[in-house]
Amino acid sequence: MTRLGVDYGGTQTKLLLADDDGSSIRTHTVDTGDLSDLAHAVRDFVGTDDVAAFGVTVAGTLDPTTGVVGTSANLPWLDGTAPAADLSRRLGIPGVAVHDGEAAALAEARRGAGQGIDDVFVLALGTGIAGAHVLGGTPRRGAHGAAGEIGHVRVTDADYSCSCGGRGCLETVIGGSQLGVRWRERGGAGGTARDVVAAVASGDEAAIAVLSEAQDGLARALLEVVALVDPSRIVIGGGVARSAEVIVDPAVRRARERATFHILPDVVPAALGVWAGAHGAALACVAR
C-alpha cells in the first residue's frame, strides 16, 4: 500500500507517491486548480496503484482538529472548507490536511537533513519564516499551535513593522520581501531577496548593510532557539537560504562567535528542496 502526498501550492501542485516506509516512489507536478481539478490530476497520477491514505498541505491557517482552513491567501476558495474531507469524498481514500510548513519540517526531520536525529529544529526562510521543532519525528505544535515561530522572535530594536503586527521580528530583517524594503529604506532600488544579493555582489553599500543586519538577526534568533529549545540539529531551508554563503553561513558563524553558555548544534541545509512539502504530506497521513 502506498501513500500520496499533495502539496497544494498557489500556482503549482506537487504530487508524490511514497511506499510503506515513507520513501518516494514517483512524483509529478501539475498546474493548481480547484478541488475537482485536483481530484482528476490525482487519479491520473495514481493510476492503478493502491493508495492507503493521502495528506494534503494547506498554505494558510488550519485548525488541526477539524481540518478546516481559516484563510489561505493564495487558494482563497479553500477558506472555511475542509479540503481533506472534500478530496477524500472525491477519491474514496482517507486523508488529512497539514499545514505546509509543518509538512516540510516533518519531511526534513524524518527523511531529509534531520534523518536519524530525534530532536530537530527546522527553519524555512522564505517570504515568511516557518519554524518547527520536530521531537521524535513529530512536530511539537505547542499548547496553542504556535510553537516554533522563530520568524517572530524579536531581533532588533529598530522600528520595523512586521506582518504579525509586532516590531523588529526576525521576519522584518530576513523575510524575502522585507529584505527589499530594508534596502529601499537605505536608498537602494528595492525588490526581491535575489535583487539584494545581486547588489551585494556588485558592491552596493546599502545592500551590504541590509544583509549584515539579516545575518545579525538570524544569529540572534538561532541563539534564542538554542537557549530555550536546545535542539540536537538545526535544519535551514527556503528560498532565502539558497545562497547559503551570503546569509545563512555568515549568520551561523556569528552565532557561534557570540555563543556563551549556548551549545550550538550542527546547522545544516535542508535536503529535500521543493519536494519537502509533498513528502511531508505523505508522511503526515500515516502519522496520525
Least separation in angstroms between CB 166 and a copy of itself: 4
Q: List helix spans (H) across the chain.
A: 35-46, 83-91, 100-111, 170-174, 176-185, 193-201, 205-228, 248-258, 276-287
Q: Does the protein bind a copy of itself through residue 148 (CB under 8 A)?
A: yes
- The separation between CA 26 and the C-alpha centre of its own chain, rounded to angstroms, equals 22
- Give the per-residue contact string, 213-252, with a copy of itself (x = CB under 8 A; - = no): -------x--xxxxxxxxxx--------------------
Neighbour tally for 24: CB within 10 Å: 17
Q: Does the protein bind a copy of itself through residue 186 (CB under 8 A)?
A: no
Q: Which of 31, 47, 146, 159 binds a copy of itself (CB under 8 A)?
A: 146
Q: Does the protein bind a copy of itself through residue 145 (CB under 8 A)?
A: yes
Contacts of 8 (CB under 8 A, 6+ apart): 32, 38, 56, 57, 58, 59, 75, 83
Rg of the chain, C-alpha, whole Å: 19
Q: Which is nearer to a copy of itself, 154 or 186 (CB)?
A: 154
Q: Does the protein bind a copy of itself through residue 65 (CB under 8 A)?
A: no
Binding-residue total with a copy of itself (CB under 8 A): 38
Q: Does the protein bind a copy of itself through residue 263 (CB under 8 A)?
A: yes
Least separation in angstroms between CB 228 and a copy of itself: 5
208 φψ region: left (φ > 0), alpha (ψ -120 to 50), beta (else): alpha
Neighbour tally for 113: CB within 10 Å: 23
Least separation in angstroms between CB 87 and a copy of itself: 28
Q: Does the protein bind a copy of itself through residue 115 (CB under 8 A)?
A: no
Q: Which of 5, 13, 3 is nearest to 38 (CA)?
A: 13
Residue pointed to by grid coordinates 527589499? 180
Residues in touch with a copy of itself (CB under 8 A): 119, 131, 133, 141-150, 152-154, 157, 162, 164-166, 220, 223-232, 258, 260-263, 265
